[in-house]
Amino acid sequence: MIIDLNDFFIGMLYISLIILIIILIILGIKLIRTLKKVDNVIEDVNEKMGKVDGVFNIIDKTTDFASSVSDKIIATVSNFINVLLKKKKGNDDDE
């Protein structure tokens, strides 16, 4: 009876291992399918970002141009005001 019980437990262990291996194979196959779907989504996102990247570059160049133009305008106005103030101070010193 002891030998039969020992064989029973070994048989159950083998059956459990076979079931575990089958479950792991099924999960592995599902994981591979999921990773393929994720890879397709990532490729699609990268492709769309490539298309949108050109628009962002145009916006970036436009804002850089606007910033440089506004800086030049501000510098010109500031220099003009400084010249006016210096002339006014110069006239006060002459009196």
Structure tokens of 10?
Answer: 């070994």
CA 89 to chain centre: 56
Give every residue of the chain whose pLDDT is below 70, as ranges: 1-3, 88-95
Interatomic CA distance for residues 73 and 27, integer angstroms: 66
pLDDT at 15: 97
Residue 86: its pLDDT value, please? 83
Task: Report which of 44, 48, 26 is spatially closest to residue 36, judged by C-alpha positions.
Answer: 44
d(CA 17, CA 10): 11
3-state helix, strand, coil in the chain (%, to 5): 100, 0, 0
